Amino acid sequence: MDVSRALVEELGGKLEAYYFAFGAHDFYAIGDLPDNVAAVALATTVGASGAMSSFETIPLVTPEEADEAARRSVNYRPPGG
């Protein structure tokens, strides 16, 4: 956990939670990073190291961001429609 915290903090973020788990993934780390660029930098660095065989980055959306997205109008017509 100390290594995870140091990596996140080096990129200007904060490690908010760290859980061990059963199943497809052995642990989950929840971090608040300043932006998507920092998240990609973290993911590519860890992935390129070969230290983990499975690494997945999932951006979380706040309720406020979801509300803003719901208010946006997008002109879309499905193929064939």
Please enumerate in sequence order all residues whose Cβ is within 8 A of that of 14, keeping only pairs 6 or more positions apart, or say none. Answer: 8, 31, 32
Q: Is residue 56 within 8 Å of residue 42, measured between CB atoms?
A: no
Angstrom distance (rounded) from CA 59 to CA 80: 32
Annotated domain spans of the chain: 2-71
Q: Backbone phi, then psi, for 18, in 5-degree steps?
A: -145, 120
Please enumerate in sequence order all residues whose Cβ is within 8 A of that of 8, keeping only pairs 6 or more positions apart, or say none. Answer: 14, 15, 29, 31, 33, 42
**According to the CATH classification, is domain 2-71 in 1.10.3470?**
no
Q: 20-79: per-residue pLDDT in tens?
A: 999 888 888 999 999 999 999 998 888 888 877 677 888 889 999 999 999 998 899 999
